[in-house]
Chain A
Amino acid sequence: MAPEEAIVQTVLSVPTEEQARHYLQDCAFDDRLVGVVMKASGMLPMDIYSLEQTLGFFAHDNSDVMGRPDAILQERRLDVAYLAPGRLSRWVSEIIGDHELADAIDAEEAKIEDPHIYPPRMRLMRELVVMRVLQCYDVLGIDPAADVEKTEADSQERKEQ
């Protein structure tokens, strides 16, 4: 079976250094986004404070690997990292302040025939956030492979730069 193919056509414009720093920052507790990982043994609300953490949240989702023969070796089973329609874009716009990303998410979601069907919506959210985060890393000279366990201290440091 063919691996997952990119589904978004949008290309985000490259952010400035100042924008990149801004987009990667952590938000305050009351501004956090709460997603829910739906696992077979319960729902797991997750507090999301940044775009990077959004990817950490999405990492729990494997709803698109159903039926893939290599699923076994990815050690994953059916979990859904759920965000309701429109929620991510609103948070990205109002809290993270990345209006371009928010608009792109809305535009791509609008192309989906049935927004209640989750896997394609999950993929487009993930692809767009990955795109933006990698752009920010690139602009700021952060090596995405270098630090697997990013800490709060790193985020604080970036905030203060």
Chain B
Amino acid sequence: MSNGYAGKILVIDLSSGEVSSLNTADYAEYGGGHGMGSAVFFDLCKDKTISAFDPANVITLMTGPIQGTLAPFGGGRCEVQAIGPQPWPIEWFTRSNFGGRFAGMIKFAGWDGIAVTGKAENPVWIDIRDDAVAIRDASATGDGLWGTGTYETEKKIYDLVRGGDSVDWTLYGTSRDTGRSAQNPAVVSCGQAGENLVRWASLIHEGGGGAGQGGFGAVFGSKNLKAISVIGTGEVAIADPQALMAARAWWSENYFDFDNYKPSLPGLHSYSPGGSGNIAGGLARGGVGQRPQGCMGCTKLCHGGRGATAEGPGSSCFDTWYQAQSGVKWGNPAASASNTDMLQSYGLNAWEGSMALPWLVKLYRTGILGPGKAIESNLPFDAVGSDAFNVAFLDCIVNGTDIGADLKEGCARAATKWGRYDEDVTSGDLAIAAHGYAHHYDARTESEWGFGTALGDRDINEHDITWVLYWHTSLAPLYGQPQALPAKEMVEMIGSTLLPYSDPMMLDFSDEGIYSDAMVKFVSWHRAYTRFWKQSAMYCDWGITDWLNPWAEGYKGLTPELEPRFYNAVTGDDTSFEKGIEIGTKIWNLDRAIWYLQGRTPANDQLAEWQFRIGSPAAHSTYEIPYIMPVFENGEWSYKNVWGRFLDHAKYDDFLDRYYAFEGWDANGCPTSDTLKKLGLDKAADELSAAGKI
């Protein structure tokens, strides 16, 4: 196989105990990561209509060629895919992604990815040491991992794999020429939440790395799989090492230097030295002193930091303040370290919990939920916002007690069971965006986020527009500063990178613009870009796109030069940026085909109702913020606060029709046989045809 790849994909069947492999070369056309994961899933999971907890579900953890290399914001990412228990009402084949050391380590072990299917009879963990793969007993009478939290599991595995010697070179194998490593194994595990099949259970790595959304922790749990541990002592070839080093030096010249602080632009949070971990998390760790911490090979170092008390290692962002919305009495950040550790150790998705809390508080305050109420609960809602409440809340979910028995199924399912879905999702009190996923960035304003979410399987969590054309453009005026560029120059600069279209009109977020043909093009482009460059090649969402670079001349970012530069230095390929968009389009269509095999219809492309009803909630619930985006109105570009509008059903449905046509999908939104075959997805076309979908 060409450079940048280990050459084999590990396949483990936990039902039979069989360990086998696939050739990465057979999936070369997808680049890596998500594309390979979708294709491997397609091949290994014969019946796409099974449920997430069916033993035949296949979970993949895939790397791309730049993992384990010096590509900035990319070296550490690992793409996780499977039929996910979290999406609603259909358990979509979905994705998540986590950083750290795992992806690099599996490549050094000789694997480009891992696919696990089947279900073990008793709790197990997978112990990978280069090409030696063992399925070990994780039960209480075995290695004692099952029933413990993720932190405990990782610590125990360090000890088990290193044989108690955590300092010296450890020989893996028996001869001189088998590998040695001084490293700790890279471990990913589920916590008790996953063991207990909480539909929004996460996978955790090194405390703060997490595949949070999708419920992959519960997929592990459903397979009686506690953890996967990897030691890799080998190497992966780089096609052009000199070019890789030169690319890294080029990057350094155009980005920040930790010791020579160059101010970022207002609102470009992800560009602060130390990235988000040091700016968005704000975790108040005990003791004094802490360090930023980063994924393998990365230069942004946003993994939340580590402090003297080892609280919340590597955690930042939502993991550290998911419970803030449960009650503003909790304004005490000192409480968050223990809450963070509890969440991460249990292995729970912070987003779902964060959406649940204000909804539950509303139900409590309006007398619908509580002791003796229509929704019976004895949780201490009188202490909501306190640590005591948070402990009770997380415990009841993990253990399935009190309302936890329903909440562990996710808010959408719980609300449906309680007969509250329609009312609360229309009012927005339960802020689901689509597919049962929590509202994140806003569909009414930033349409590429909302529409991309609706057309897919989950909240997209792809921050390209968000940083530049929402955060920067909105925060700058809050601090009395102008945006870095006037609107016209900004959209022309960014528009030029939207290859192959290069059309600035794709960035028109006006009331008409969000439904325009140009927005159809942009949503299509964004799906393809993220599927390939972010999730397959694969670069971190926190690093690319680099559109507005505070330290480059004219603020011109490194996209579209950066993406192919490292990719090709590693692989020796000649993959252009546009070629990446083509591959991304193929991957997007493959995913869409899988969703149709799962039973998708156009109804699943809808957004939750409140987004069509309200700009801001009524009465004194203002929920107003500056959401300043570029708009093309009256023949000219300007920045405008688009907060307060809501979507229109007729216009959105019309947008969908035009989007389907643009993608080469039929009127039901399913990729046509022609489209699939043109993309080389003949197998998908055949399977859809056999299932009567096309």
Interface pair B329/A53, CB less than 8 Å apart:
yes
Alpha-carbon distance between A148 and B50 when the two chains are bound, in angstroms? 50
Among the listed stretches B142-150, B470-478, B514-522, B580-588, which one makes contact with chain A, having 4 or more residues with CB under 8 Å of it?
B470-478
- B625 at interface (Cβ–Cβ under 8 A)? yes
Determine the main DSSP class of A at the interface with B: mixed
User: CB-CB < 8 A to A76: which residues of B?
Assistant: 282, 333
Q: Is B471 a contact of A46 with CB atoms below 8 Å? A: no
Q: How far is the CA of A52 from the CA of B329 in the complex (A)?
A: 8
A46 pairs with B283, CB closer than 8 A: no
Complex interface bits, B613-649 against A, C-beta within 8 A gives 1, otherwise 0: 0000111111111100000000000000000000000
For B387, give the chain A residue with the smallest CB separation: A149
- Over the window 13-44 of chain A, the binary record of Cβ atoms lying under 8 Å from chain B Cβ atoms (1 yes, 0 no) is 00000000000000011111111111111111
Chain B 464-485: CB-based contact to A (< 8 A → 1; otherwise 0): 0000000100010111100000
Q: Is A131 an interface residue (CB 8 A)?
A: no
Interface size class of B (residues with CB under 8 A): 35 or more
Taken together as a complex, chains A and B put the C-alpha atoms of A52 and B358 apart, in Å, by 18
**Residue B392 at the A interface, CB < 8 A?**
no
Given A40-B276, A41-B276, A77-B282, also A91-B620 (CB < 8 A): yes
Most chain B beta carbons < 10 A, residue from A42, A79, A87: A42
Contacts of B624 in A (CB 8 A): 36, 82, 84, 87
Q: Which residues of A contact B272 (CB under 8 A)?
A: 77
Bound Cα distance A39, B281 (Å): 9
**CB contact between B478 and one of A37, A43, A118, A153 (< 8 Å): that residue:** A118
Among A33, A54, A79, contact of B620 (Cβ-Cβ < 8 Å)? A33
Interface residues on A, range: 35 or more
Q: State the Cβ distance, B356 to closest chain A Cβ, in Å.
A: 14
- Tell me the bound Cα distance from A51 to B366 in angstroms: 20
Question: Interface readout for A51-67 with B: 1 if CB under 8 Å, 0 if not?
Answer: 01111111110110000
B280, B328, B332, B480: which contacts A57 (Cβ < 8 A)? B328
Complex Cα gap A153–B329 (Å): 13
The reply to whether B383 and A149 contact each other, CB–CB distance below 8 Å, is: yes
- Residue among A47, A76, A156 having the largest count of chain B Cβ atoms under 10 Å: A47
The residue in chain A whose Cβ has the minimal distance to the Cβ of B284 is A75
| Chain A, Cβ-Cβ closest to B431 | A45
Q: What mask results when residues 366 to 405 of chain B are scored 1 for a CB within 8 Å of chain A, else 0?
A: 1000000000000001111111000000000000000000
Give the chain A neighbours of B362 by CB distance below 8 A. 29, 47
Which 9 A-B residue pairs are closest in the complex by CB-CB distance? A59-B331, A40-B269, A56-B331, A40-B280, A56-B328, A77-B279, A34-B621, A152-B382, A117-B480
Residues of A participating in the B interface, judged by any CB pair closer than 8 Å: 28-49, 52-60, 62-63, 75-80, 82-84, 87, 90-91, 94-95, 114, 116-119, 148-153, 156
Q: List 29 A-B contacts (CB under 8 A).
A: A31-B619, A33-B621, A35-B622, A38-B625, A39-B321, A40-B317, A41-B317, A44-B321, A46-B325, A46-B328, A47-B361, A53-B327, A56-B328, A57-B328, A59-B331, A62-B282, A75-B282, A75-B283, A78-B269, A80-B475, A82-B626, A84-B624, A87-B624, A94-B620, A95-B620, A149-B330, A149-B386, A152-B382, A153-B383
A60-B331, A151-B382 known; 10 new pairs, CB 8 Å cut-off, are A28-B365, A32-B620, A33-B621, A42-B441, A45-B325, A47-B328, A54-B328, A118-B479, A151-B386, A152-B384
